[in-house]
Amino acid sequence: MKKMNRRSFIKLSTVAMAAASGTVYTSKAKWTEAASKTPPSITRSFSVCNSCGNRCNIIAFKRQGRLWRISGNPRDNKTGGKICARGHAYAAMVYDRYRLGTPLKRMSNGFEPISWEQAYEEISDKLKDILRKNGPEAIFWSEYSKPISNFYGARFMAALGSPNWTTHASTCFAARNVGFNHTLGGLPTGDYENTKYVVFIGRAPADGIGTSILKGLPMAKQKGAKVVAVDPRLSYSANSLANEWMAIRPGTDLALLLAWIHIMIKENLYDREFVSKHTVGFSDLEAAVSQYTPAWAAGITGLPEEQISRVVKEMAAAKPAAFVEPGWHAAYGSNYRNSTQTARAIAIINALLGNLNQPGGLCFYSGANLGSLDSSRHQAPPNSPYKRVDGAGVAGKYPLALGSGLHHLLPGLAKEGKFKAGFFYSINPARTVPDREYVVSGYKNLELSVVIDWQFSETAEHVADYILPESHPLERDGIVEPISARMPQVSMQSKAIEPVHPGARGLDRIVTELAQAMGFGRYFDFKLDDLNKAMLFPLKLFPVHLQQRGPQVAGGAWDYGQTMFRTPSGKVELASGTFAEHGFSKVPIWESPLIEPSSGEFRIIHGHQAYLTHSQTINNPYLVSIAKDYHGEAIWINSKKARELGIADGSDVIVSAKGYENKVRCKVTERIHPEAIFVPAGYGSFASKLERGFELGISMNDFVPHASEDISGHAMMQEAVVSIRKA
Amino acid sequence: MGQYAMIIDSNRCVSCFACRVACQLQNDLPPELSRIKFTEQEKGVFPDTRVLVLPTQCMHCDDPPCVEVCPTGASFKREDGLVLIDYEKCIGCQYCVSACPYSARSYNPRTKTVDKCTFCAPRLAQGQGPACVEACITGARIFGKVDEEGSPVQALLKDQRTNQVKGTLMYYRVGEKWLDEIPADAHRPAYASRLVTRQPVGTALLGLSAGAVAASFVLTRVRRSGEGDHDEKD
């Protein structure tokens, strides 16, 4: 046998890599002849990106059968064919050595690989035991909301009789949705490309990427639209996309919005015809905001009175092609005590602008008219007869909270013994929910915890009893999903490559097999393909059309002008009777943040960077390299405050809050409000198996206490203060 | 044969790094090796603050020092203006890495050769644009041939806010206020440290690259009157 030394191995592997990558233009002659060459064998297939919640359509390029790179799909009406760094880097994870390939069981000395049969048998035995002893209420499902788990996770819980199918909403967008639902009857989308004036309240669409916004907004700006960013921080979005930055004091957006409503009514800047025909509660609103003068708002927000008055007048002059952007997590998705009423105030301003379903305004685009499984052939499980244990939608608890629940409450309920078993799908509460100790120690009380994911996470490493490896999304089909746009489409995550890890399985298969093991197989007597065919049936399409051609048009073009709203009154509810019924103010009124920084303290604010998604991407080699090259983990502090504290740009600081402190690099900048410390999201990994990003930076969740807001029940993730000192 | 030009509109760049990663995957680069680097400069006092984001890469010099110093003739300039490397001749000596005034070259441990931006020459040969241009979400990168009638490149080259980096194929669009910020002695390295506040780890020379870009703005800034001014973003 011929032995290979290190040197020859490297030489060989370099040659092999060149061959695999099909690099043809290596020599001068070859560069010059490039134009006459035929490209190496490259095939492409269509799918949907899973790097975040945007669900952008992508094209996966394979070279000699191996996934090479990913691009956006120009036929996606929402994105126009652009994807972000996370989407491009997604290709790198398919062959990554850190992927999960076999079911794992926690033993006293770490995780041990087991067979799927053993995993199903042990998990189903334990679940049956819990069902018998504690009932289906003691079981929950928690997920980072995705189409595949919206269906399979919810159906699995219904099959078991559990009411506790849960998503990440309460640490993301719960307050926004509750506020908009109870005002406009749903969540509209901005008609970016036709607008003349847009105000972003804390949302930074080029930092927390919104591909559809980044498609439309530059077009509008080209035509002269003005963009205003209201944000305690000059994000990259605010810097490049906005004409004007309103550097507001964190947590006071509601005061600004109330003053804007005040000015619009007092100076008759609102759409009187729309308000009289399509809204209820105007007089209540008018009375409530009479006290909120621009001078009052200036005192609370720290913004100049002139700016407050001028911006709303400019916006009103551009109506109806003007809107206050509905946001996502941003400033009020789940951040402050006043966030739900902040969302209501934003919805109300848009109604006063008369911009709903108008060109350049906010539109309720129609989605595709999709079918469903024939329930006479495939028996659907009945809805659970029980109330949600987390109290969402339950009288006396959180009656107005979203039906997808309050996932940040689950660890505490596990500690109280109300939950005995939990499933975690593609979600990582141990890192993404405030108060690590509360979350991890709470979940450790579960008798059974099952993590389903394609990579490790803090929850997998520190909580899970069993880890079930999911195949990578590019290795399997997903569920048909609608794309809401002026020209609605349907798309489907489609298998792009042969599975790298044959031991990993799709969620549809995992849930179906687990249900069979539990004796509930009758609710899963179909394949994913049958479901997709049923969903596409009304559109006269088949899954193969989406697999082979990418997104398809689904129904006719949407038209402006609709004025029916899905509220109890059928109109825009400037005053909400439902809020009043439950003891909440029927119109937004000023409420300060719950916690105010005292002298020497800072409010801790957070946000996305364009190249990281929550805690999911910290082990992606291409993305974490960006963070490491540019010190993305650095927290931001205002220059003047830094001088006072003797902190130099690029130096380490100690961040501390009650009982916890950690060291991190600091960026000293004029781009942030003196009262705030900005902590980028996605860092502070404490899962040692996420080796590349392990312990890089800090997470705001180590400093934010566990809490819940009253109306929508969200986690109030910016109701926290910290102290900073030189390291 | 007409020369290529790449225009980067820094007013539109949101520093999202989509170009960097798309380039890396397109060109089979390891995660630690990027052909595109970002620098930024902050200006003003809270809350009147703005940031200049300046992505840099190989500028494809008219008279490339990298070609001059290459002992094996691996680095060469093609007729269409592209500076390329013959990887079969490159011995990885890295003289060119030191010679490059823009710090646009790095050593690729995977191939044991020097690496740099090629404007995606293989893609150009197939009638596509560079991967970074295709990937740019906000349309901040514009690419094409200077002699192509009616192309976006040609339109922008006529605009007085488009500034050529002297003696290269790269052009930048920056707000007027940023140009005024750049002093006449900008080519001195001392200036570079002031310009760059966001410097990649282990790339000490990057400050120099941004300084060189800035210097070139000043040296080549040609005021064309009567061709219409454009609104500045802020």
Residues of A with CB below 8 A from B11's CB? 240
A644 touching B (Cβ < 8 Å): no
B139 to A218: CB separation less than 8 angstroms, yes or no = yes
A628 touching B (Cβ < 8 Å): yes
pLDDT at B229 over 50: no
B25, B26, B42, B206, best to mutate vs chain A, most A CBs in 10 Å: B25
pLDDT for A41 equals 84
Kindly state whether residue B228 falls inside one of the protein's structural domains. Answer: no
pLDDT for B28 equals 94
- CA distances to A336, A347, A577, B47, B199 from A246, in Å: 19, 20, 33, 8, 28
pLDDT for A33 equals 58
Domain span at residue B118 reads 4-220
For A239-292, write each residue's pLDDT tens digit.
999 999 999 999 999 999 999 999 999 999 999 999 999 999 999 999 999 999
Kindly state whether residue B225 falls inside one of the protein's structural domains. Answer: no
pLDDT for A637 equals 98
Strand spans (E) along A650-706:
652-657, 660-669, 676-680
Question: Domains in chain B: how many in total?
Answer: 1
pLDDT for A11 equals 43
Residues of A with CB below 8 A from B28's CB? 17, 21, 23
- As beta bridge partners, residue B41 has B52
* Least confidently predicted of A17-21, A518-522, B36-40, B161-165: A17-21
Residues B92-113, mean pLDDT to the nearest whole number: 93
A69 touching B (Cβ < 8 Å): yes
Kindly state whether residue B202 falls inside one of the protein's structural domains. Answer: yes
Kindly state whether residue B14 falls inside one of the protein's structural domains. Answer: yes
B111 to A638: CB separation less than 8 angstroms, yes or no = no
CA distance A478 to A458: 25
Residues of A with CB below 8 A from B137's CB? 82-84, 206, 209, 211, 214-215
- CA distances to A361, A595, A680, B88 from A657, in Å: 42, 13, 17, 58
Residues of A with CB below 8 A from B200's CB? 629-630
A610 touching B (Cβ < 8 Å): yes
List, in sequence order, the alpha helices (H) in A113-210: 116-134, 147-160, 174-184
Kindly state whether residue B205 falls inside one of the protein's structural domains. Answer: yes
pLDDT at A22 over 90: no
pLDDT at A28 over 50: yes
Kindly state whether residue B59 falls inside one of the protein's structural domains. Answer: yes
Residues B32-36, mean pLDDT to the nearest whole number: 97
Residues B120-148, mean pLDDT to the nearest whole number: 94
Q: Is B118 helix (H, G, I), strand (E, B) or coil?
A: coil
pLDDT at B195 over 60: no
A628 to B25: CB separation less than 8 angstroms, yes or no = no
Q: What is the β-pairing status of strands A279-280 and A139-143?
A: unpaired
A418 touching B (Cβ < 8 Å): no
Q: CB of A148 within 8 A of CB of A479? A: yes
User: Residue A540: which region, alpha, beta or left (left: phi > 0; alpha: psi -120 to 50)?
Assistant: left
Q: What are phi and psi of A112, to 5 degrees?
A: -125, 135
* Min Cα–Cα distance to chain B from A163, Å: 40
CA distance A69 to A81: 15
Task: Name residue A489's amino acid.
Answer: Q
Kindly indicate the confidence band of residue A511, based on its pLDDT and cuts at 50, 70 and 90: very high
DSSP structural state of residue A248: P
pLDDT at B187 over 50: no
Q: What is the β-pairing status of strands A601-607 and A635-638?
A: unpaired
pLDDT at A34 over 80: no
Kindly indicate the confidence band of residue B161, based on its pLDDT and cuts at 50, 70 and 90: confident
* Least confidently predicted of A17-31, A119-133, A379-393: A17-31
For A277-334, write each residue's pLDDT tens digit.
999 999 999 999 999 999 999 999 999 999 999 999 999 999 999 999 999 998 999 9
pLDDT at B227 over 90: no
Q: Choose the closest CB to B31 out of A14, A207, A621.
A: A621
pLDDT at A556 over 90: no
- 0.90 cut: is pTM over it? yes
A375 touching B (Cβ < 8 Å): no
Residues of B with CB below 8 A from A31's CB? 78, 84, 86, 121
* Min Cα–Cα distance to chain B from A691, Å: 15
From the number of C-beta atoms within 10 Å of its C-beta (0-12, 13-18, 19+), residue A585 rates as: middle
Q: What are phi and psi of A602, to 5 degrees?
A: -130, 145
From the number of C-beta atoms within 10 Å of its C-beta (0-12, 13-18, 19+), residue B229 rates as: exposed
B18 to A24: CB separation less than 8 angstroms, yes or no = no
Here the contacts of B86-91 (C-beta below 8 Å, separation 24 or greater) are: B86/A26, B86/A27, B86/A28, B86/A31, B87/A23, B87/A26, B87/A27, B87/B111, B87/B113, B88/A26, B88/A27, B89/A27, B89/A28, B90/B114
**Which residue from A592, A569, A562 is spatially nearest to A182, judged by alpha carbons?**
A569
pLDDT at A39 over 50: yes
> CA A309, A312, A316 angle in degrees (round to 5)?
135
Kindly indicate the confidence band of residue A85, based on its pLDDT and cuts at 50, 70 and 90: very high
* Min Cα–Cα distance to chain A from B44, Å: 7
- As beta bridge partners, residue A141 has A165, A423
**Which residue from A464, A458, A463 is spatially nearest to A104, judged by alpha carbons?**
A464
Domains (ranges, CATH) in chain A? Answer: 1-37 (no CATH), 104-171+389-553 (3.40.50.740), 174-356+565-581 (3.40.228.10), 601-726 (2.40.40.20)
Q: Is A604 helix (H, G, I), strand (E, B) or coil?
A: strand
Encoding tokens for residue A248?
């507001």
* Min Cα–Cα distance to chain B from A87, Å: 8
Comparing alpha-carbon positions, the chain B residue that sits nearest to A621 is B31
Kindly indicate the confidence band of residue B180, based on its pLDDT and cuts at 50, 70 and 90: low
> CA B183, B188, B189 angle in degrees (round to 5)?
120
pLDDT at A581 over 90: yes
Kindly indicate the confidence band of residue B218, based on its pLDDT and cuts at 50, 70 and 90: very low
Task: Name residue A25's amino acid.
Answer: Y
Task: Tell me how long chain A is.
Answer: 727
What percentage of chain A carries pLDDT values higher than 70?
Answer: 94
* Min Cα–Cα distance to chain B from A509, Å: 31
A94 touching B (Cβ < 8 Å): no
Residues of B with CB below 8 A from A610's CB? 14-18
Q: Choose the closest CB to B200 out of A215, A623, A629.
A: A629
Sequential DSSP letters for A499-564: -S-TT-B-HHHHHHHHHHHHT-GGGG-S-HHHHHHHHHGGGT--HHHHHHH-SEE-SSPP-TT---
Q: Domain holding B27: CATH number?
A: 3.30.70.20
CA A637 to chain CA mean position, Å = 26
ipTM surpasses 0.90: yes
Kindly indicate the confidence band of residue A37, based on its pLDDT and cuts at 50, 70 and 90: low
pLDDT for B194 equals 33
What percentage of chain B carries pLDDT values higher than 90?
Answer: 55
Comparing alpha-carbon positions, the chain B residue that sits nearest to A91 is B25
Kindly state whether residue B28 falls inside one of the protein's structural domains. Answer: yes
Kindly indicate the confidence band of residue B225, based on its pLDDT and cuts at 50, 70 and 90: very low
B17 to A85: CB separation less than 8 angstroms, yes or no = yes
pLDDT at B231 over 70: no
B112 to A14: CB separation less than 8 angstroms, yes or no = yes
pLDDT for B185 equals 32
The mean pLDDT of chain A is 94
Q: Choose the closest CB to A28 out of B16, B76, B197.
A: B76
Residues A662-672, mean pLDDT to the nearest whole number: 98
Is the torsion defined by CA of B91, B94, B96, B100 positive or negative?
positive
Chain B contacts in chain A segment 214-253 (CB below 8 A): 214-215, 218, 234, 236-237, 239-241, 243-245, 247
More confident residue, A514 or B177: A514
Encoding tokens for residue B119?
């404007």
Query: What is the C-alpha end-to-end distance of chain A, expressed in Å?
Result: 57
